[in-house]
Chain A
Amino acid sequence: MTQTRGCWRASGEFRSAQENRHLVARPPENVQRLFVQRGIGLNPAIRASGLSKRYGEVLAVDDLSLEIASGEFFGLLGPNGSGKTTTIHMLATLIRPTTGSAEVAGFDTGRNAVRAREAIGIVFQESALDRTLTVAENLRFAGLLQNMPAKMITERSGELLDLFGLQEHRTKPVATLSGGMRRALDIVRGVLHQPKVLFLDEPTIGLDLPNRRRIWRFIEKLRAHTAMTVLLTTHYLEEADSCDRVSFIRKGRLVESGTPGAMVEELGKHILEVESSTIESVVARLEPKVGPCLRDGDIAMFRWAKEDVSELALLQAELAADVGSWKVRRPNLNDVFLWVAGGKALKS
């Protein structure tokens, strides 16, 4: 009798393991080893399985499965409207998935939303501050909402305002702060309660370059100070370079995942960018020899897997008359993004 039940349970486990077969974004073993070296835990801080969200006719997120290790710095990348924000809002318990489930810090985001929220800090694309209150009053409000004792709020916000260089603005109303300072304050608000998992939804959107750099220094400092798991969405790809792992999302589906370095490597050794006023015919002549390309107006982008570019030099000489510009350069994450956003598979 006991044995049968054991069998039954075992088969149940087996079946659920089968169901989890599409956990495409689980770190592969070599990446896992890397994480162990970097001190990143392997208990998932975020686990999503088969998440979908439908808004009427639109399938905003489509069967998304994902595991993010605790302490990992994870980037969810994709074009506008690809479902990044909807994914974050589902993981942060703010909207319910149409199907599928998710766990944050071990708590189900549906059944145990309140416990999950205790572990979550989130910085939205748009400010979540009361413009009529001062910096200190906003942080006090946010801290009390997180059930923090007043003394702890004062201490923590003091430290964070120092770290973010906002200390001298403590008593100013938020409405008088610049966009960069407001965004920094928004991040302070998001991490005040020392969440285990921090969601950063386009943290630098709408900021100028110096402010973007400043925000990134803050985030790096924060990560150095705490063991926070960070899930970042951005379309400034250079910002995702420091991620432990990135996933590309396109039309609500995860399409590629890996470390930024590995993905860039997978794209190829070189990128060939050709500009021509007769691009159609140039592409027609190049594609059989170089492989498929990504078109953007008069520009075509090819991947080149070999280190040796002498073959390309020959092609260049051959096509010189038709080509306006011919550029061979190293690929970066931006190219991966364009390639994936263009609907092309990364594997050749």
Chain B
Amino acid sequence: MKFRPFYAVLEREVLRMIRQRTRLVAAMVRPLIWLLVIGGGFSATVGRTHGVNYQDFLVPGVIGMTTLFGAMLAALTTVYDKESGVMRMMIVAPLPHGWIVTAKMVSAALAAIVQAIMLIILLLLLGYFGKDTNWLLLAAAVPVASFACAGIGMLTASFSRTLDNFAATMNFVIFPVFFFSGSLYPTQTLPRALKMVAMANPYTYGVDFLKHAILPASANPDFSLALDIAVLAVFSIVALAIASWRFSQEAAVEPMIRVLAGKRG
């Protein structure tokens, strides 16, 4: 196994993250708006359920949101790489192409983890965080959820050819994944159809894992911890396998090769 190429992909992701400060600021502001504005507003009307007010209930949801957006946006740079030519550097490297997909997925997860940690520190400083937190469990939940989100991102990236449909990806993948989950409400009390969708959404289990780590036991997470971990782990592996397979398919690489050859369209 060659680890330098792997490290190269991670290093580039971190460099890019540090360079693109606005992306980082947006990653902090977005969850804070949800927590302070939406959470604040609903807290006043909904009141406390299961011993938590709505704003506190929302904390795992917005941390999940950070991992979801962080991982998705980082994974979608794979599409940008395809278009900009960086992928050319990667596909000529003496590595199996699955190794590149793995490195991209790990770096997307890493980006999500870094952003989640930053948000957690911010929330701690703002005093929204920490009273019932099981830190050990949280230290496991953030990376596991991040990997699953990176998996969703790599799957999306491996099936989209150009960045033109980036807005579509945002509307038809990221937002639905976020809304059809337990981020904003418990899934158990959802109408049947919505509940089914939420249960089929791997991200739901990531948020649930975060709830186990952050909320008091009285808040009743939706699923058992074991189920959360099992679903997230299996999904991450399957997503990686499918994305790698897609990449190894000529169908996925060849349109790009045609672009490299200057034969657009």
Contacts and interface: CB of A to CB of B under 8 A. Distances in A.
Interface of A: 81, 85-86, 89, 92, 94-96, 114-115, 117-118, 120-122, 124-133, 137, 140-142, 144-149, 189
Contact of B8 (A114, A122, A126, A144): A144
Given A130-B12, A133-B12, A146-B5, 5 more contacts: A94-B92, A115-B94, A125-B262, A131-B84, A141-B11
Given A130-B86, A137-B15, A92 B7 contact: no
A118 B89 CA distance: 13
Interface stretch (B33-41, B178-186, B188-196, B252-260): B252-260
Given A129-B85, A130-B12, A117 B92 contact: yes
A120 B15 contact: no
A128 B11 contact: no
Of listed B86, B94, B257, residue having the most chain A CB within 10 A: B94
Nearest to A144: B8
A120 B88 CA distance: 13
A144 B5 contact: yes
Nearest to A120: B92
A131 B88 CA distance: 13
A117 B262 contact: no
B48 interface: no
B163 to A, nearest CB: 14
A189 B89 contact: yes
A43 to B, nearest CB: 21
Nearest to A142: B89
Nearest to A130: B86
A113 to B, nearest CB: 8
Nearest to B254: A95
A141 B89 contact: yes
For the complex, would chain B's binding face be called helix, strand, loop or mixed by DSSP majority?
Answer: helix
A117 B84 CA distance: 21
A300 B179 CA distance: 71
21 contacts: A85-B260, A89-B257, A94-B92, A95-B254, A124-B85, A124-B88, A126-B259, A126-B260, A128-B85, A128-B88, A128-B89, A130-B86, A130-B89, A133-B12, A141-B8, A142-B89, A145-B89, A147-B2, A147-B4, A147-B94, A189-B89
A118 B9 CA distance: 18
Interface of B: 2, 4-5, 7-9, 11-12, 15-16, 19, 84-86, 88-96, 250, 253-254, 257, 259-263
Nearest to B81: A130
Given A124-B260, A128-B86, A141 B92 contact: no
Given A85-B261, A147-B5, A118 B92 contact: no
Nearest to B99: A114
Contacts of B5: 144-147
Contact of B4 (A96, A124, A144): A144
Contacts of A96: 250
B95 A145 contact: yes
Contacts of B96: 114
Given A95-B257, A144-B5, A127 B85 contact: yes
B212 to A, nearest CB: 38
